[in-house]
Structure 1
Amino acid sequence: MKYVSYQVNGEESYGVRVGKGIADLKSKYGETYPTLKDFLSSKEFSEGNQHENESVTYSEEEVQFLPVITNPDKIFCIGINYETHRIETNREKAGYPVVFHRFAESQVGHNEPILLPEESDRLDFEGELAVVIGKPGRRISKEDAYEHIAGYACYNDGSIRDWQHHTHQWGPGKNFDATGGFGPDLVTRDEIGDGESLRLQTRLNGEVMQDTTTDLMIFSIPELIEYVSSYTTLQTGDVIVSGTPGGVGAKRNPPIFMQEGDVVEIEIEKVGVLRNPIAAEAKQKQQAKTAAQSV
């Protein structure tokens, strides 16, 4: 099954894909499970095949997509997790995963603009596979890791490169508002075989920038879950963004950074296509101000 978070007329909701439409689920379960994150812990989610017969509520064009999980407790991002990216960044091989964190406010949904901030013109793309936790746990073994996964989604770990490298800590460059794309769908684990190799592509204005398969990760998804859950309890709705391959814009000659008017797409086999236009944050603010004044 494929689940989505979205809003219509400013009201947030969640639903399930049915054919080419979306069946709203918040109207049925919202009193108990107000968000998709809450719904992941329900029996209705674990028995999700019953939703195949839901009636379509909206077409895709009628909704504004939100990040798949709008209110995660924790977002873990994994750095340097493909050999091609390790080589292009000239880093030594590591014995443990590189982990940093994102804030929920840094994320946007499918088709929503990723914002080029006023402080920098070095907005880079990073196509990645995101893992969404369904079953909570601490000190989860590699052997049990897949049992804790609710599903998968596409992710663009948009990075403000100069701010990322102000210090040894990457946090500032990874957390500008509305720089990380997340969506469009949460594709449930039963749709994808455990450990299945999936092709991942990043395209900028239609041109392929990154192209890999997920079996080439240095640290596998079970290894990431085992490592992260060793130091903190993974909760339902937590997100692990599993790393990007080589081909990032900053390491090209000459460098390629995303500009206003660009369109970036992350496509992952069996998971979907995440599409985001690039917009200048300053212009977005001015347009919002003008619209408010005209009301």
Structure 2
Amino acid sequence: MKLISYKIKGKPSPLRVGFMLNEKVIDLQEAYRQLLLSKQEKDLANNLQNIFPADPTQFFTAGNDVFDKAREAYTLVKRHNTEGISFDVEEVYVSTPIPSPSKIICVGKNYAEHAAEMQSDVPDFPVLFSKFSNALVGPEDAIEKSDVTQKLDYEVELAVVIGKEASHVKREDALGYIAGYTIGNDISARDLQKRTPQWLQGKTLDNSTPVGPWIVTADEVGDPSNLSIRSLVNGEERQSSTTDQLIFDIPFLIEFISNLITLKPGDLILTGTPNGVGVAMKPPQFLQDGDVVTLEIEKIGQMENKVVER
């Protein structure tokens, strides 16, 4: 499934969780209602919010039980009429998939060639830092270029979405804790990032970090260890690599992080960026007002955002 957060354009409605099917957006809660009605479970169908939330953050933080219900509804809807619960893509605004995750954990210097272009040694342990939900924007939103930075940079990253609580997870079990994957742009204000030893102030500016366009469930992606990943700025390729170049792969990261921090459903892990970032170019090429940044990851899709000065 490709799970999205959406709302109808021109209506003051809250965000709802849906999925993509045949170029249509299907409302997931309404699909589950159809499933219950097909089973003659009318009482449950009339009290869905208690068992199947429509709010995206509530849905993704509910864990694998709700995901199992979603898969069952998805299977049913694929075989039946979606009239009344589907929308054309042009009718909806698509948000970042999880607007308010409890944690956004990022991994720095996780591709050897990127560490080299940043004039850094390959780390012995994962370099962890965080972002906050204020930074998140969706696949149709602008990347805001704040006037506090003159060195805004792009970083394409495979983002992992946790599906169930993870504490002291063993590496061999780690993939079983993943709900799905999406694309993240770890936008970095390099001048702010480098002015202190801690990177946070350069990593979580308001409305600066696109994540999306959807979450592709783990069963659909399969093995995430060799996915092509690239970025383009104004159509010019800047980054191109594969996830088999990660220094610390996804199972290792989940084992490492979960031994420090209990991961919750809906938490995001941005796994690191390949070489080719703007700060390392000669001369450096930072994002400017009007630039268009396109990110692509195999089996997930494409996300494109315009840079707009704030």
Matched, 1:224 2:253: yes
1:40-79 equivalence runs, <5 A: 40=60, 41=63, 42=66, 43-47=68-72, 48-53=74-79, 55=82, 57-79=86-108
Q: For residue 121 of structure 1, what is the aligned residue in structure 2?
A: 150
Matched, 1:143 2:143: no
Structure 1 counterpart SS, 2:284:
coil
Q: For residue 44 of structure 2, what is the aligned residue in structure 1?
A: none
Q: For residue 5 of structure 1, what is the aligned residue in structure 2?
A: 5
Q: What is the CA-CA distance between 1:59 and the residue it aligns to?
A: 1.6
Q: What is the CA-CA distance between 1:138 and the residue it aligns to?
A: 0.4
Q: What is the CA-CA distance between 1:30 and the residue it aligns to?
A: 4.4
Tell me the alpha carbon deviations over residues 142-192 of structure 1, each in whole angstroms, 9 at most, x when there is no partner: 111000000000110111111111201000110101110100010011112
Q: For residue 178 of structure 1, what is the aligned residue in structure 2?
A: 207
Give the Cα–Cα distance (whole angstroms) in 1 for the partners of residues 87 and 55 of structure 2: 18
Q: What is the CA-CA distance between 1:239 and the residue it aligns to?
A: 0.4
Q: What is the CA-CA distance between 1:38 and the residue it aligns to?
A: 3.0
Give the Cα–Cα distance (whole angstroms) in 1 for the partners of residues 49 and 233 of structure 2: 37
Work out whether residues 145 and 226 of structure 1, in 8 Å CA contact, stay in contact via their aligned partners in 2: yes
Q: When the two structures are superposed, what TM-score results if normalisation uses the length of structure 2?
A: 0.87
Select which of 216, 220, 226 maps to 1:187.
216
Matched, 1:105 2:134: yes
Calculate the aligned-residue CA RMSD, in Å: 1.5
1:126-275 equivalence runs, <5 A: 126-275=155-304
Unpaired runs of 5+ residues, structure 2, are 34-47
Q: When the two structures are superposed, what TM-score results if normalisation uses the length of structure 1?
A: 0.91
Give the Cα–Cα distance (whole angstroms) in 1 for the partners of residues 77 and 107 of structure 2: 33
Structure 2 counterpart SS, 1:231:
coil
Q: What is the CA-CA distance between 1:31 and the residue it aligns to?
A: 5.0
Give the residue type in structure 2 aligned to 1:52. K
Please say which structure displays the higher CA radius of gyration: 2
Unpaired runs of 5+ residues, structure 1, are 282-295
Give the Cα–Cα distance (whole angstroms) in 2 for the partners of residues 75 and 88 of structure 1: 25
Give the Cα–Cα distance (whole angstroms) in 2 for the partners of residues 264 and 76 of structure 1: 22
Give the Cα–Cα distance (whole angstroms) in 1 for the partners of residues 130 and 108 of structure 2: 10
Q: What is the CA-CA distance between 1:136 and the residue it aligns to?
A: 1.0
